[in-house]
A and B are shown apart, each in its own frame.
Chain A
Amino acid sequence: MPEKTRDELVRIDYTPPRRDWSDPAIDFEARKGTWSYPAAAKNLRYLGFPNPRDWSPTDEDWQLPENWQQVIHDGLAERLTKYRSLKLFLDVCVRCGACADKCHFYLGSGDPKNMPVLRAELLRSVYRNDFTTAGKILGRVAGARKLTPAVLKEWFYYFYQCTECRRCSVFCPYGIDTAEITMLARELLNLVGLNINWVMEPVANCDRTGNHLGIQPHTFKDNIEFLVDELEETTGVRVNPSINRKGAEVLFIVPSADFFAEPGIYTFMGYLLLLHSLGLDYTLSAYASEGGNFGLFTSHDTIKRLNYKIYHEAKRLGVKWILGGECGHMWRVMHQYMDTMNGPADFLEAPVSPFTGTAFTNAASTKMVHICEFTADLIKHGKLNLDPTRNDHLRVTFHDSCNPARAMGILEEPRYVLRSVVNNFFEMPENTIREQTFCCGGGAGLGNDENMEMRLRGGLPRANAVRFVHEKHAVNRLACICAIDRATLSTLMEYWVPEVDVSGVHELVGNALVLEGEKPRTTDLRGKPLAARKGDADA
């Protein structure tokens, strides 16, 4: 080997070899950590979904039905007729690129196929090929692609890499809702048995037992009692929530993670204290024990099937209206689908707060009120005795959960509540909150542990903004109003900003709420000592 000159030695090429990024082939083995496990056959069988089998994306043969191309083609044809919006979204995109750099997965990964426009293009190209004259004649020149096994595998990979957060749609000049494209693409994938277990198991459990984990009524009850005991230890007050009680005025529906998962349980404790202090005549239900609706990530029929339980239970119990807890996609379903899918709920009354007389006219049709609206109204009317100094050990910022923010516009209520219950509140930068909020990276069924690397990438934009307020204002608490957020943001924080913990808004309400007959509080609902206050030393 000839001796290199010193100049040559200095000039070594450290640039990695270029790869062809347009190749549809996905090496699932090499990309572990960025895809979710397929649905277990038992869950598909239970739900009556097609093609139940045991398989893995790393298998060469995905055991598709023999006529899978026809099934997808017919499925798309049916949906193009059924949903005018789908046809419009597929036809109208001019690839202006406004959405391209708005997806959290794109921003965290740099993978161009996480650009919303390209993700949609995966489906759009097949649509062009099968349904447009230009695509049929001109093929690839017109941006058309045949649906090959490699393209289908690419669909599975990328449509289960969209959290349906709808940030991209905020920026689309045509109003294309890429989340809807993902929803429809997932419907098509479901037709040939390509689904993920983190969605289908909760769906099966909700359908059978009423909640994601499949917790049965006696365990549900035991668990509530356990939380009531914990609360009594902290506050000295014994709250008494009822379950399945006929004739209650209000049915209270929460995401099930609030009574099982850490840190959701502290939010649930906050709800219990609030409703107890008011003396609201409410009941929980062991039958409709889940506000979350993973049908939203499966198919329209499944949304309807799971959502129906709430009205069914409201009717059976004879309540007047429904109060809903802090959940994200639950509220997208309530706000945008419930009324037309399972309503009108004529057997219920238009909700009116028994404490302030406020009529929630926005919920006149669905009969379902968001707890942040309910609490903000109580605070506005001076109905709560609050001591925000009990949250002085916390420096709080607020993450707008995607669905409440973008799908129903709950932007001010949680902020109003927070400003009333904490003294130290700091906003994250403008382009990362409200309608422009960044997703947690774990919604739409992607919050499973095998998909962790993708979640951490997708969570980078959110975590980056949290780190900013942590460094600038010493923020140590990230509040949100979504159960998936509470679970997945906790994980994000542990990786990106470990000094920050995550909680629901009503956990902080519970900390601040002064109850009749309570013992002096020395800790918050988590058992963390409160900040020393003036006069404490004298006492």
Chain B
Amino acid sequence: MSGLLQVLQEKRKALEERWAELVFATYPEQSVAFLRRERDRFANPLGATIRSEITALVEGLLAGADAAALTAPLDAVIRVRAVQSFPPAEALRFLFQFKQAVADVLGDDAGGVPPGDYFALYARLDELALHAFGIYVGCRERVFEIRAREATARTYSLLKQAGLVIDTDVAGGPPACPPVEGRS
């Protein structure tokens, strides 16, 4: 019996497919068929994001990439789920569904896999999960930051006249578009 990663590499398509299916199943039943069916990334941004980023995550996990290297695909999925109607645990559940996807695609092959292989792969998944907490919290913080920034932007010129905003533009010219981070 060959190692876990090798088996999973051979079944990579099925693994991606199964994982995506499990993530789709976290959405309302009536919407799953659409999320699964529509492949146009602009007509179905949610389904397309889940599919493409899961493909990237599977590739990374099987290739032994460390968590930081998978920030982009992780961020793309979490950024969406962080503003959908999921409590935090449900928003991040998709990562742990990887284990079920692995079990499902291995089927009868599961028994022949050396336990150490699972340990190594799932240790990487754990690292990814820890990284995911940070991304999730970052997304939620961003929601509140932009709420605060928007309140200022709405009456920007009035606040400016009243001397209540300080521009970050050190050149002293007219107000530059405030930078994304730390808008005044």
Residues of chain A at the chain B interface (Cβ within 8 Å): 6-7, 10-16, 18-19, 21, 31, 33-34, 100-101, 106-112, 213, 215, 219, 222-223, 226-227, 230, 233-234, 257, 259-263, 265, 429, 431-432, 449, 452-453, 456-457, 460-461, 464-465, 468, 487, 490-491, 494-496, 498, 501, 523, 525-528
Given A464-B41, A527-B175, verify A260-B35 contact (CB < 8 Å).
Answer: no
Nearest CB on B from A52, distance (A): 25
Given A110-B27, A460-B45, verify A219-B158 contact (CB < 8 Å).
Answer: yes
Given A260-B158, A487-B154, A526-B176, verify A109-B44 contact (CB < 8 Å).
Answer: no
Interchain residue pairs with CB less than 8 A apart (22): A7-B110, A10-B106, A14-B93, A15-B22, A34-B85, A106-B31, A110-B31, A226-B157, A227-B157, A260-B156, A260-B157, A261-B155, A262-B152, A262-B153, A449-B147, A465-B42, A490-B153, A494-B142, A495-B139, A495-B142, A501-B177, A523-B173
- A527 partner, pick from B34, B49, B160, B171, beta carbons under 8 A: B171
Which residues of the other chain, B, contact A495 by a CB distance below 8 angstroms?
A: 79, 83, 139, 142-143, 146
Whether, in the assembled complex, B149 has its beta carbon less than 8 Å from a beta carbon of chain A, the answer is: yes
Which residues of the other chain, A, contact B84 by a CB distance below 8 angstroms?
A: 108-110, 453, 457
Whether B79 pairs with A496 at a CB distance below 8 angstroms is: yes
Whether A10 pairs with B103 at a CB distance below 8 angstroms is: yes
Whether A100 pairs with B155 at a CB distance below 8 angstroms is: no
Best-buried of A215, A219, A465, A494 by chain B (most CB within 10 Å): A494
Whether, in the assembled complex, B30 has its beta carbon less than 8 Å from a beta carbon of chain A, the answer is: yes
Given A7-B110, A261-B153, A491-B150, output 5 extra A-B contacts at Cβ < 8 Å.
A31-B85, A34-B85, A110-B27, A449-B150, A494-B149
Whether, in the assembled complex, B14 has its beta carbon less than 8 Å from a beta carbon of chain A, the answer is: no
Nearest A residue to B147 via CB reads: A449
Mostly, the B contact residues are helix
Determine the distance from Cα of A109 to Cα of B28 in the docked complex, in whole angstroms. 10
Determine the distance from Cα of A278 to Cα of B151 in the docked complex, in whole angstroms. 35
For window 34-51 of B, CB contacts with A under 8 Å fall at: 34-35, 38, 40-46, 49
Given A6-B115, A109-B84, A111-B85, verify A498-B28 contact (CB < 8 Å).
Answer: no
Nearest A residue to B31 via CB reads: A110
Whether, in the assembled complex, B9 has its beta carbon less than 8 Å from a beta carbon of chain A, the answer is: no
Which residues of the other chain, A, contact B102 by a CB distance below 8 angstroms?
A: 10
Which residues of the other chain, B, contact A527 by a CB distance below 8 angstroms?
A: 169, 171, 173-176
Given A111-B28, A457-B84, verify A525-B100 contact (CB < 8 Å).
Answer: no
Residues of chain B at the chain A interface (Cβ within 8 Å): 22, 25-31, 34-35, 38, 40-46, 49, 79-80, 83-85, 90, 93, 96-97, 99-100, 102-103, 106, 110-111, 115, 118, 139, 142-143, 146-147, 149-158, 160-161, 169, 171, 173-178, 180
Determine the distance from Cα of A490 to Cα of B97 in the docked complex, in whole angstroms. 34
Determine the distance from Cα of A35 to Cα of B44 in the docked complex, in whole angstroms. 24
Determine the distance from Cα of A12 to Cα of B44 in the docked complex, in whole angstroms. 30
Determine the distance from Cα of A263 to Cα of B40 in the docked complex, in whole angstroms. 33
Nearest B residue to A465 via CB reads: B42
Whether A101 pairs with B173 at a CB distance below 8 angstroms is: no
Given A461-B45, A527-B175, verify A260-B154 contact (CB < 8 Å).
Answer: yes
Nearest CB on B from A397, distance (A): 14
Whether A260 pairs with B83 at a CB distance below 8 angstroms is: no
Determine the distance from Cα of A260 to Cα of B157 in the docked complex, in whole angstroms. 5
Nearest CB on A from B139, distance (A): 8
Which residues of the other chain, A, contact B35 by a CB distance below 8 angstroms?
A: 110
Determine the distance from Cα of A288 to Cα of B157 in the docked complex, in whole angstroms. 20
- B46 partner, pick from A222, A460, A487, beta carbons under 8 A: A460
Nearest CB on A from B92, distance (A): 11
Nearest CB on A from B96, distance (A): 6
Nearest B residue to A493 via CB reads: B180
Which residues of the other chain, B, contact A110 by a CB distance below 8 angstroms?
A: 27-28, 31, 35, 46, 84
Whether B161 pairs with A112 at a CB distance below 8 angstroms is: no
Determine the distance from Cα of A18 to Cα of B30 in the docked complex, in whole angstroms. 12
Whether A107 pairs with B158 at a CB distance below 8 angstroms is: no
Whether B42 pairs with A21 at a CB distance below 8 angstroms is: no
Whether A468 pairs with B46 at a CB distance below 8 angstroms is: no
Nearest A residue to B32 via CB reads: A110
Determine the distance from Cα of A233 to Cα of B169 in the docked complex, in whole angstroms. 15
Whether B42 pairs with A257 at a CB distance below 8 angstroms is: no
Which residues of the other chain, B, contact A429 by a CB distance below 8 angstroms?
A: 42
Given A15-B22, A15-B25, A261-B156, verify A449-B151 contact (CB < 8 Å).
Answer: yes
Q: Which 8 A-B pairs have the closest CB atoms?
A: A262-B156, A527-B173, A464-B45, A110-B27, A112-B30, A456-B83, A527-B174, A449-B147
Nearest B residue to A232 via CB reads: B174
Whether A464 pairs with B157 at a CB distance below 8 angstroms is: no
Determine the distance from Cα of A537 to Cα of B89 in the docked complex, in whole angstroms. 57
Best-buried of B96, B146, B175 by chain A (most CB within 10 Å): B146
Determine the distance from Cα of A215 to Cα of B80 in the docked complex, in whole angstroms. 37
Nearest CB on B from A178, distance (A): 18
Determine the distance from Cα of A495 to Cα of B139 in the docked complex, in whole angstroms. 8
Given A233-B174, A526-B177, verify A16-B93 contact (CB < 8 Å).
Answer: yes
Whether A226 pairs with B156 at a CB distance below 8 angstroms is: no
Which residues of the other chain, B, contact A491 by a CB distance below 8 angstroms?
A: 146, 149-150
Determine the distance from Cα of A215 to Cα of B173 in the docked complex, in whole angstroms. 26
Whether B90 pairs with A528 at a CB distance below 8 angstroms is: no
Whether B22 pairs with A453 at a CB distance below 8 angstroms is: no
Whether A10 pairs with B155 at a CB distance below 8 angstroms is: no
Which residues of the other chain, B, contact A226 by a CB distance below 8 angstroms?
A: 157, 160-161
Which residues of the other chain, B, contact A100 by a CB distance below 8 angstroms?
A: 34
Which residues of the other chain, A, contact B41 by a CB distance below 8 angstroms?
A: 464, 468
Determine the distance from Cα of A166 to Cα of B146 in the docked complex, in whole angstroms. 27
Whether A21 pairs with B28 at a CB distance below 8 angstroms is: yes
